[in-house]
């Protein structure tokens, strides 16, 4: 089970430090493939996640927010999912209304999944685009080449038929 303290309450700075320690203890490299996501969140990021609803609001004690175990689990799960390449929207969908037990299970599963440590840089893809007519274009990777012209023609005709369904009442140009 994930090594999260059963109880605890932290200031915002304390929460950030605790998440960093947790990710380190779990040996989860939470930096994203494209390098845009930091391994551990900073104070500003935590506030941003709270404003988006990704992170529960803290309990207020006077003028200071107090963060607990649930916040720690939420924040660790956010960072781990981001490291897997999920956008914040996808993270939000995946974590919405999750219980502490479910967040712990997610982190446990990530610990048991072999991590890709070798090269974490994304390979850029170059695309070619051809506009066939207004509203219809074809995209292909720069290294794409047809394997069978006849098979490709059949697939293209099937795609056009699928796109045309529902537009039979329109006159052909």
For the stretch 78-129, pLDDT in tens is: 998 988 888 999 999 999 989 999 999 988 888 777 654 444 455 677 888 8
Q: Is residue 55 part of a domain?
A: yes
- The pLDDT of residue 5: 66
At residue 161's C-alpha, the angle toward residues 155 and 165, to 5°, is: 150
* Calculated CA dihedral for residues 10, 13, 16, 22, nearest 10 degrees: -50
Quick check: 4 pLDDT over 80?
Answer: no
Same domain, yes or no: 20 and 77: yes
- The pLDDT of residue 119: 43
Same domain, yes or no: 15 and 70: yes
Candidate from 11-25, 90-104, 149-163 with smallest mean pLDDT: 149-163
Q: Is residue 159 part of a domain?
A: yes
Domains in the chain, number: 2
Same domain, yes or no: 34 and 105: yes
Same domain, yes or no: 42 and 81: yes
33-54 mean pLDDT: 81
- The pLDDT of residue 1: 52
What percent of the chain lies above the pLDDT cut of 90? 37
- The pLDDT of residue 30: 54
Instruction: Report how far residue 166's alpha carbon sits from residue 157's, in angstroms, rounded to the nearest whole number.
Output: 16
Instruction: Report how far residue 33's alpha carbon sits from residue 62's, in angstroms, rounded to the nearest whole number.
Output: 40
Q: Is residue 138 part of a domain?
A: yes
Residue 164: phi and psi, rounded to 5, are: -80, -20
> Any idea how long the chain is?
173
Q: Residue 14, Cβ neighbours under 10 Å: how many?
A: 13
Quick check: 15 pLDDT over 70?
Answer: yes
Candidate from 34-43, 46-55, 91-100, 157-166 with smallest mean pLDDT: 34-43
The token pair at 61 is 């004690």
Q: What is the CA radius of gyration of the chain?
A: 23
């Amino acid at each position: 089970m994930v090594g999260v303290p059963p109880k605890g309450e932290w200031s915002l700075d304390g929460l950030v430090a605790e998440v960093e320690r947790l990710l380190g203890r779990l040996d989860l490299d939470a930096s994203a493939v494209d390098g845009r996501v930091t391994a551990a969140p900073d104070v500003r990021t935590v506030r941003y996640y709270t404003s988006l609803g990704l992170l529960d609001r803290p309990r207020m004690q006077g003028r200071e927010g107090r963060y607990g175990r649930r916040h720690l689990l939420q924040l660790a799960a956010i960072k781990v999912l981001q490291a897997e390449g999920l956008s914040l929207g996808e993270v939000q969908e995946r974590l919405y209304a999750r219980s502490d037990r479910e967040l712990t299970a997610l982190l446990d599963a990530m610990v048991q999944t072999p991590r890709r440590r070798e090269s974490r840089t994304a390979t850029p893809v170059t695309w070619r685009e051809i506009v066939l007519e207004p509203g219809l274009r074809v995209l292909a990777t720069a290294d794409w080449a047809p394997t069978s012209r006849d098979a490709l023609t059949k697939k293209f005709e099937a795609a056009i038929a699928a796109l045309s369904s529902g537009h039979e009442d329109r006159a052909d140009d």
